[in-house]
A = this chain, B = another copy of it.
């Protein structure tokens, strides 16, 4: 039957199926967004089962053998134009990956993570890792099983890494982190021997409504399209998309911390601009999706750090900020402000870390997870391992589990293998930003004028519009002329902090 159909008809059938799967996934995303923003307290239980049902449908449709047949036939015929062929190739890869997991395994994983999430919340509230231990251990066993089902070469952790970052492996990441560890440690030491900069003005009283208004002005000027998205408040800032015309970001506001709101707004806007820039015509298809998690993170980190923590950008924005907070910032010069917002001080919490120490948080987690998966570290020994590494890498003493190994939600979601993309994102971000500045002279001159349109246009052209057409490395090469080279990132940091800390 399938053999008698035209390629055009088969491709049409394939896209219809993919769009319907996307409808379900995005419907689930709406329910999740709502859960984080507006869900009344008692509504969580039923919301959980509604989400489970949607996931089940999406997974069922994703592994439908009829879809597999379509994909195999289209792939074998090989007579589609380039974009169509690329969609089919990627969808077939996804299908083959998904197919390795039985619905029963998916359900068990979903149930276990759901339980883990609640145990993690309880453990955090009670500030006690042992509360989380047994459930995390069960989840770890499932993740190990997942590596076997998915299959891998060399190291089981590769199977998990590959889920979040196609092609990422232990040997590649080890090499990458080896390249940054030393230089970053040196940089920390040099900064440590310099007089510390002052950032106390960031902790004066900044009324919430004014912070919100300033954040909204920034977001709008960065190019976020409010007719195709919105910002709300949530416990933890995040970005989600239901299609390129409905991209939602959230922030949180602490009256005594201007930094928290400001850079979470810019960070999430970076993610959102990417989503709003994806090609509409590929809704539901790989070419309509983001390239990878590290590329997604490159967009958020580029805007947050390379733009949003630069002196150039604040040339325009600092005077604006002072009009919002004349009393709080009237006695702070732009140079003092710039130094303050770039203060480097190793600390306990990853999400609040500066640009230098940030990557040690990621490396600790990466090494820890690798050891867990290969079996050289036991779940029960996580706190001791964690605390020892924080002392070794960052010279900080972890006072309790809440500020230590319980700080992040990811494990309870089953996201082992996720963290490296945070560092890779920064590395790609620095390289992309440099390439953009090299290729378009107007970017450097327009930023101090508060005009980031040339930069956004460059990203739209070189990153966003491609969707998932290229892998991270291919995309990096297309956009910058070479694959990831850590020197861009290191050079950016060294150059920046030399000036700030005057060494």
For A50, list chain B residues within 8 Å (CB): 23, 26-27, 30, 242
Is A148 an interface position by the 8 A CB rule? Answer: no
In the complex, residue of chain B having the shortest beta-carbon distance to the beta carbon of A232: B38
B46 touches A227 (CB 8 A): no
B283 touches A43 (CB 8 A): no
Is A42 an interface position by the 8 A CB rule? Answer: yes
Complex Cα distance A38/B46, Å? 22
Complex Cα distance A230/B42, Å? 11
One digit per residue, 1 when the CB lies within 8 angstroms of any chain B CB and 0 when it does not, for chain A 1-41 equals 00000000000000000011001101110110010001111
A45 to chain B, nearest CB (A): 7
8 more contacts with CB within 8 A, not counting A38-B232, A43-B228, A46-B243, are A24-B53, A40-B229, A40-B230, A40-B246, A41-B228, A42-B225, A43-B246, A46-B246
Also in contact, A245 and B54, with CB within 8 A (given A30-B31, A226-B40, A230-B38): no
A-B contact pairs, 8 of them (CB 8 A): A23-B49, A23-B50, A24-B54, A30-B30, A40-B226, A40-B229, A43-B245, A47-B246
A245 touches B27 (CB 8 A): no
For A226, list chain B residues within 8 Å (CB): 40
Taken together, the copies of this chain in the complex come to: 2
Is A57 an interface position by the 8 A CB rule? Answer: yes
For A43, list chain B residues within 8 Å (CB): 228, 242-243, 245-246
**Using a CB-CB cutoff of 8 Å, which residues 70-93 of chain A contact chain B?**
none
Q: Please, how many residues of chain A have a CB less than 8 angstroms from a CB on the other chain? A: 37
In the complex, residue of chain B having the shortest beta-carbon distance to the beta carbon of A247: B40
Complex Cα distance A50/B20, Å? 8
B39 touches A246 (CB 8 A): yes
For A26, list chain B residues within 8 Å (CB): 46, 50
A245 touches B40 (CB 8 A): yes
**Using a CB-CB cutoff of 8 Å, which residues 112-151 of chain A contact chain B?**
none
Also in contact, A41 and B243, with CB within 8 A (given A26-B50, A27-B31): no
For A42, list chain B residues within 8 Å (CB): 225, 227-228, 245-246
**Using a CB-CB cutoff of 8 Å, which residues 246-298 of chain A contact chain B?**
246, 283
Complex Cα distance A246/B43, Å? 5
For A54, list chain B residues within 8 Å (CB): 23-24, 27
For A228, list chain B residues within 8 Å (CB): 40-43
A28 to chain B, nearest CB (A): 8
In the complex, residue of chain B having the shortest beta-carbon distance to the beta carbon of A31: B30
Complex Cα distance A31/B24, Å? 11
One digit per residue, 1 when the CB lies within 8 angstroms of any chain B CB and 0 when it does not, for chain A 43-68 equals 10111011011100100000000000
For A28, list chain B residues within 8 Å (CB): 27
B53 touches A20 (CB 8 A): yes
